[in-house]
């Protein structure tokens, strides 16, 4: 099942050869959502400003390439490293308060960065965006081509590697501890768990992967705009998790695919009003299908098992 | 016998209310001590003070000769002060096996491990399974916590605490609300604890208290009224007054 | 010196307006523990109602203000009874997502019917012009009007809360919903009424603010952070907290944009982060932290 899932990019490549940029975007959005899922779905830290780290990663990778270092892999690692450092520092601000304070502080941090990127136009290109991002071939072999073939495979592979790493984390004792912190922090303290240290780590790691996602976007599209730091980008990641299901590693990927495909389709019918249906869908999901696609899938599997059990009897 | 825990003039005020007032008290190593008192007497607050969830307004706490008054809750757990809660505090989204394994892993400092899957931490899982089995929870190990009966969830509450390897176990009304037929399981579990674990038991069921305790402390209005053997306490006129006629007689031996 | 006075008065007007806009949010948060990011959408509704009435039907501006209040309150009441109440027990994340959903729908809806452009209205003559204070300092008549209206409203709100039966019920319900229920107070009705009034006030604020804050479909998101700051910094246990927070925010924002233009909004965010980090439970929180 899982192997089949990860082989999907191959037929998709041949079926949708002309829509590759869309598929690339889905992979990047999925990675961004996965990074938020660690923070939100597993550790239970609500964030309205996850784009801060995405944006930092994007500008890091973009600026490196603009200023003469177009090597993709190290650029991506640098993007991740900068975002990780920023995540670590800001985690101490974010983790102090209640849910509401966390929402506010994360939102404020991303707004501050957006404002800063806007002001530092000499560095970031400001509202015009950062042009001149030129990438070297990956491993010196694979050129980023006009059709986006390389960008596609590059993004899919980075997504896969990150996915494997993130899944290892959530399936480890540390992942269990995060579920504990989310489920009952009072009890976690009573068993002597360093609750805050767990949360700092989760936030830092999540920020790092968001940075990689941002770096990936900068490299794949060879462009960075202020948009990478905007509120709607943070909201998008939340939506993806609501659609796909949070606290479940495949949720982010399914959600990202559903989200972008719906977006293409709806804005194809009524260009501006995709937002309207997005809002409506969000309300319906929150009220009636809180588990998202993954939740529906699990309910289905459970029902199948039950009927099979009954037949066996 | 040596003293394991001592509080000196321990007080806690909430606004104008003195929930715990000037409690000076010593617990012997290996003690089987009960702490009783009417509702609102400050028993739970006293435990919150001992575990560091609530800072004291005044006073000092000494554990194994060390002043722990300012120590963080986590550090106290690491020194062996572990509690259960009056209202179940469990992980509803985990199985009992996961919950107990988590406590084991945290105790051993292995809950930071990120790369090996949980399933490969055999020592922790085996220890958790053994602990659950020893409390008669073997068949509930993989059942979602929310689906277990209330009485057995009270047992799980104790099991999670035991996984931390307590030196001093603070039990906050472990049998409260548990139906008659499941009460014995809980009391037997507590009675069978090794003497290396000192126990401070809060309980309203006097049967259980007198069956278990070797010494009883009575808290009224936040203050320590009496401390002594069950006989002394049962015959103390002030205790009888505080309980306003509720029977405190020791069951016929 | 006169500059300082002008900036100060502008800031006060701005802050007062923020207070009227945000006080409903602070009550819903304190009372229902509901994080309503869509609060700005009610303000936007009030603003657009006014624009349509003034520009489309020539209704006098002053008459539009109560209408904006009533329309926003009615929408608030309707949504509270049908949707919001279902999420009172839910976690903050669900509430956030739900209200973001509402914001998106509101923004798209307004965009559809009114277009994305900035809306303008013509104020009546007597609200235009400058009012000259001593030493050559001046303030726009309209800003003075805002200050007066909002000050009156703040006093009225304070009186309602402290003097009326409804106010005491509301405070009882905020302090402890269970106890209030035990006293026979119909908490559901108190919630609905409060939500409606809070939305209405936002609508009124939206109408008053067209001239000062600007009005376009992005209004709910643009001002979301301001409302949240007022609530989080001011706390939810009194009227005075959000009121002071609004004033500080208003004056800080105007002064910041005036004196250090490059860092105007930067300063607001910094201020908020610093306050939240130092006082995670608000600047004026009176309750203990445990
Ligand atoms: N966090 C708190 N804030 C305010 N008052 C509290 C708090 N915790 C306990 N109290 C008060 O302290 C008193 C003692 O409570 P508690 O320790 O729970 O009593 P017991 O466990 O003996 O029934 C009660 O009046 C209770 O209302
Ligand atoms: Mg108690």
**What is the structure's pLDDT at C289?**
35
**pLDDT at res. C290:** 32
Q: Are B12 and B92 found together in one domain?
A: no
State the pLDDT at residue B199: 96
Tokens of A274: 């995709």
Q: What pLDDT score was predicted for residue B251?
A: 46
- Option in C98, C103, C107 nearest A286 (CB): C98
Specify the pTM: 0.88
Chain A residues touching residue B167 (CB < 8 angstroms): none
Residues at CB less than 6 angstroms from ligand 1? B 14, 17, 19, 37, 39-45; C 290
Range of the domain at B144: 87-165
The sheet with strand B17-28 has its strands ordered as B17-28, B3-14, B58-63, B66-67
Best of A181, A192, A193, A295 to substitute, by most chain B Cβ atoms within 10 angstroms, is: A192
DSSP string, A161-210: HHHHHHHHHHTSHHHHHHHHHHH-HHHHHHTT--HHHHHHHHHHHHHHHH
A172 and B117 within 8 Å at the Cβ level: the answer is: yes
* Closest residue in chain A to residue C93, using alpha carbons only: A46
Mean pLDDT for chain A overall: 88
DSSP A39: I
State yes or no: pLDDT of C176 exceeds 80.
no
The tens digit of pLDDT for each residue in A71-89 reads 999 999 999 999 999 999 9
Distance CA B171, CA B163 (A): 14
How many structural domains comprise chain B? 2
pLDDT band at A312 (very low <50, low <70, confident <90, very high): low
Task: Look up residue B186 and give its two tokens.
Answer: 């809980």
Residues sharing a CB contact under 8 Å with residue C151, sequence separation 6 or more, in sequence order? C16
> Which two three-digit tokens encode residue C278?
């130092």
Does the residue C52 lie in any domain?
yes
Domain final residue, candidates B138, B165, B192: B165
Nearest CA in chain B to A165: B115
Q: Quote the CA–CA distance of C239 and C236 in Å, as a whole number.
A: 8
Distance between CA atoms of B19 and A116, rounded to whole angstroms? 51
CA–CA dist B222, B41 (Å, integer) = 5
On the question of pLDDT at A101 being above 90, the answer is no
pLDDT at site A247: 79
CA distance C262 to C259: 9
Q: Are C241 and C234 in contact (CB under 8 A)?
A: yes
One domain for residues B13 and B95: no
Is residue C255 domain-resident? no
Give contacts of A201 with chain B, Cβ < 8 Å: 112
**pLDDT number for residue C288:** 38
Least confident segment among B56-70, C122-136, C271-285 = C271-285
Of C83, C91, C276, the CB nearest to A105: C276
Q: Is residue C13 part of a domain?
A: no
Q: Are strands C138-140 and C130-132 parallel, antiparallel or unpaired?
A: antiparallel
pLDDT in tens, chain B (253 residues): 689 999 999 999 998 899 999 999 999 999 999 999 998 999 999 999 999 999 999 999 999 999 999 999 999 999 999 999 999 999 998 999 999 999 999 999 999 988 899 999 999 999 999 999 999 999 999 998 988 999 999 999 999 999 999 999 999 999 988 988 888 889 889 999 999 999 999 998 888 899 999 999 999 999 999 999 999 988 888 887 777 555 555 444 3
Cβ count within 10 A of residue A45? 25
Instruction: Judge if B172 and B230 occupy the same domain.
Output: yes
In chain C, how many domains are there? Answer: 1
pLDDT at site C6? 82
Read off the DSSP letter of residue C55: I
- State yes or no: ipTM above 0.85: yes
What 3-state DSSP class applies to C68?
A: helix
For a substitution probing ligand 1, which of B15, B19, B46, B242 has the most ligand atoms within 8 Å of its CB? B19
Residue C285 is assigned to a structural domain of this protein:
no
Please list, residue by residue across B83-112, b when 16 or more beta carbons sit within 10 angstroms of its beta carbon and e when fewer do: bbbbebbbbebbbbbbbbbbbbbbbeebbe
Tens of pLDDT, residue by residue over A203-238, are 999 999 999 999 999 999 999 999 999 988 998 999
Would you give the end-to-end CA distance of chain B in angstroms?
26
- Contact yes or no for B19/B42 (Cβ under 8 A): yes
Which atom of ligand 1 is found nearest the CA of B47? Answer: 17
Q: Note residues around ion ligand 2 (Cβ under 5 angstroms).
A: B 44, 86
Whether residue B173 is found in the same domain as residue B76: yes
> What is the residue with the minimal CA distance to atom 11 of ligand 1?
B19
- Point out the domain boundary residue: B148, B165, B182: B165
The parent domain of residue C126 ranges over: 20-217
Yes or no: say if C101 and A286 are a contact pair by the CB < 8 Å rule: yes
Task: Identify the residue with better confidence: B203 or C272.
Answer: B203
Q: Which residue has the higher pLDDT, A245 or C205?
A: C205
For the ranges A99-103, A235-239, C117-121, the lowest mean pLDDT is seen at: A99-103
Q: What is the pLDDT of residue C267?
A: 75
Whether B112 has its CB under 8 Å from any CB of chain A: the answer is yes
Contact partners, residue C267, CB within 8 Å, separation at least 6: C252, C253, C256, C260
Neighbours of chain C (3+ CB pairs under 8 A): A
| Residue B173 CA, closest ligand 1 atom number | 21
Domain-located, residue C227 = no
Q: What pLDDT score was predicted for residue B246?
A: 54
Q: Are residues B192 and B70 part of one domain?
A: yes
| B159 or C182, which is more confident | B159
Across C189-209, average pLDDT: 92
Q: What is the 3-state secondary structure (H, E, C) of C98-126?
A: HHHHHHHHHHHHHHHHHCCCCCCCCCCHH
| Closest CA of chain B from A241, distance in Å | 19
Answer yes or no: do B74 and B140 share one domain.
Answer: no
Residues of B in contact with A290 (CB under 8 A): none
Residue A69, min C-alpha distance to chain C (Å): 31
Question: What is the mean pLDDT of the segment spanning A168-190?
Answer: 95
- Ligand number nearest CA of C176 is 1
Q: What is the arithmetic mean of pLDDT over C231-255?
A: 83
User: What pLDDT shows up at residue A141?
Assistant: 77
CA angle A246, A251, A252 (to 5 degrees): 90
CB within 8 Å: B89 and A198? no
At residue B154, the pLDDT reads 94
Quick one: A228 exposed, middle or buried, by C-beta within 10 A (0-12, 13-18, 19+)? buried
The first and second tokens of residue A27, run together, are 């992979």
- Look up tokens 């040596």; give the residue: B2
The distance of A294 to chain B (nearest Cα, Å) reads 16
Write down the mean pLDDT value for chain C. Answer: 84
Question: Is residue B120 located within the same domain as residue B110?
Answer: yes
Which pLDDT does position A285 carry in this prediction?
85
How close is the Cα of B205 to the center of ligand 2, in Å?
13
| Ligand 1, atom 24, residue with closest C-alpha | B40
Closest CA to C75 of C105, C112, C119, C116: C105
Q: What are phi and psi of B28, to 5 degrees?
A: -80, 150
The runs of H, that is alpha helices, within A69-194 are 72-94, 99-119, 121-124, 149-170, 173-183, 185-190
Residue % of chain A over a pLDDT of 70:
97
Q: Give the closest residue (by CA) to ligand 1 atom 2.
A: B14
Residue C287 has pLDDT above 70, yes or no: no
Based on the fold, state whether residues B22 and B42 are members of the same structural domain.
yes
Distance from CA of A126 to the nearest CA of B (A): 39
pLDDT tens digit sequence for C33-75: 788 999 999 999 999 999 999 999 989 999 999 999 999 999 9
Out of B116, B150, B165, a domain closes at B165
Quick check: B91 and A184 CB within 8 A? yes
Which pLDDT does position B44 carry in this prediction? 95
Residue B42 Cα to ligand 2 midpoint, Å, equals 7
């Amino acid at each position: 099942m899982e192997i089949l899932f990860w082989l999907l990019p191959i037929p998709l490549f041949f079926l949708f050869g002309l829509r590759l940029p869309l598929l690339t975007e889905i992979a990047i959005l999925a990675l961004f959502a996965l990074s938020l899922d660690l923070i939100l779905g597993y550790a239970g830290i609500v964030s309205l400003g996850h784009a801060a780290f995405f944006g930092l990663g994007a500008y890091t990778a973009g600026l490196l390439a603009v200023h003469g270092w177009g090597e993709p892999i190290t650029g991506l690692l640098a993007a991740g490293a900068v975002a990780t450092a920023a995540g670590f520092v800001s985690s101490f601000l974010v983790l102090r308060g209640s849910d509401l304070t966390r929402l506010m502080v994360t939102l404020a941090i991303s707004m501050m960065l957006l404002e800063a990127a806007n002001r530092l136009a000499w560095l970031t290109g400001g509202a015009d965006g950062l042009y001149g991002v030129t990438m070297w071939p990956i491993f010196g072999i694979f050129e980023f081509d006009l059709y986006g073939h390389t960008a596609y495979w590059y993004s899919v592979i980075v997504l896969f590697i990150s996915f494997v790493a993130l899944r290892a984390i959530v399936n480890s004792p540390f992942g269990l501890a995060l579920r504990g912190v989310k489920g009952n922090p009072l009890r976690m303290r009573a068993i002597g768990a360093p609750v805050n240290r767990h949360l700092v780590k989760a936030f830092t790691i999540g920020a790092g992967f968001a940075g990689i996602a941002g770096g990936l976007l900068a490299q794949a599209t060879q462009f960075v705009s202020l948009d990478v730091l905007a509120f709607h980008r943070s909201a998008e990641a939340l939506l993806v998790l609501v659609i796909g299901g949070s606290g479940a590693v495949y949720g982010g990927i399914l959600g990202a695919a559903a989200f972008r495909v719906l977006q293409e389709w709806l804005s194809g019918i009524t260009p501006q009003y995709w937002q309207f249906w997005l809002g409506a869908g969000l309300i319906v999901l929150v009220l009636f299908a809180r588990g998202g696609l993954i939740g529906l899938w699990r309910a289905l599997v459970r029902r199948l098992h039950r009927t099979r059990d009954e037949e066996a009897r | 016998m040596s003293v394991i825990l001592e509080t000196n003039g321990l007080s806690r005020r909430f606004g104008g209310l003195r929930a715990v007032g000037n409690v000076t008290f010593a617990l012997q190593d290996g003690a089987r001590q009960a702490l009783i008192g009417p509702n609102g007497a400050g028993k739970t607050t006293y435990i919150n003070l001992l575990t560091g969830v609530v800072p004291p307004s005044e006073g000092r706490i000494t554990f194994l000769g060390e002043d722990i008054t300012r120590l963080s809750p986590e550090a106290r757990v690491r020194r062996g002060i572990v509690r259960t809660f009056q209202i179940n505090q469990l992980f509803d989204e985990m199985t009992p096996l996961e919950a107990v394994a988590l406590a084991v892993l945290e105790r051993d400092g292995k809950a930071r491990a990120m790369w090996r899957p949980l399933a490969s931490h055999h020592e922790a899982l085996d220890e958790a399974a053994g602990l659950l089995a020893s409390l008669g929870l073997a068949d509930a190990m993989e059942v979602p916590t929310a689906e277990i009966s209330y009485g057995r969830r009270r047992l799980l509450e104790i099991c999670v605490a035991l996984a931390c390897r307590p030196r001093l176990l603070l039990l906050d009304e472990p049998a409260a609300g548990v139906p008659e037929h499941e009460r014995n399981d809980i009391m037997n579990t507590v009675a069978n604890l090794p003497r290396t674990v000192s126990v401070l038991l809060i309980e309203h069921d006097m049967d259980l208290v007198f069956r278990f305790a070797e010494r009883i402390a009575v808290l009224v209005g936040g203050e320590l009224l009496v401390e002594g053997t069950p006989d002394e306490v049962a015959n103390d006129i002030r205790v009888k007054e505080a309980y306003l006629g509720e029977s405190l007689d020791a069951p016929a031996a | 010196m006169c500059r300082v006075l002008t900036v100060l008065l502008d800031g006060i007007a701005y802050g007062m307006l923020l207070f009227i806009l945000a006080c409903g949010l602070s009550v819903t948060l304190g009372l229902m523990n509901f994080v309503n990011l869509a609060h700005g959408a009610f303000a936007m509704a009030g603003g657009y109602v006014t624009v349509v009435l003034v520009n489309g039907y020539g209704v006098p501006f002053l008459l539009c203000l109560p209408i904006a209040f009533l329309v926003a309150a009615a929408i608030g009441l309707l949504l509270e009874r049908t949707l919001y109440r279902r999420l009172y027990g839910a976690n903050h994340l669900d509430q956030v997502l739900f209200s973001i959903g509402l914001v998106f729908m509101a923004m798209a809806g307004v965009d559809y019917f009114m277009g994305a452009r900035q809306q303008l209205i013509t104020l009546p003559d007597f609200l235009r012009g400058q009012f000259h204070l001593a030493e050559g300092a001046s303030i726009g008549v309209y800003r003075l009007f805002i200050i007066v209206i909002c000050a009156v409203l703040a006093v009225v709100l304070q009186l309602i809360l402290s003097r009326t039966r409804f106010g005491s019920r509301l405070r009882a319900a905020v302090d402890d919903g269970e106890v209030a229920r035990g006293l026979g107070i119909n908490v559901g009705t108190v919630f609905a009424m409060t939500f409606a009034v809070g939305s209405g006030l936002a609508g009124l604020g939206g109408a008053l603010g067209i001239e000062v804050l600007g009005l376009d479909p992005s209004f709910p998101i643009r001002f979301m952070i301001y409302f949240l700051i007022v609530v989080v910094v001011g706390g939810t246990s009194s009227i005075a907290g959000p009121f002071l927070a609004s004033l500080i925010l208003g004056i800080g924002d105007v002064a910041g944009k005036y004196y250090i233009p490059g860092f105007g909004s930067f300063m607001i965010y910094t201020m908020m982060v610093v306050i939240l980090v130092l006082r995670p439970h608000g600047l004026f929180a009176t309750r203990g932290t445990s």
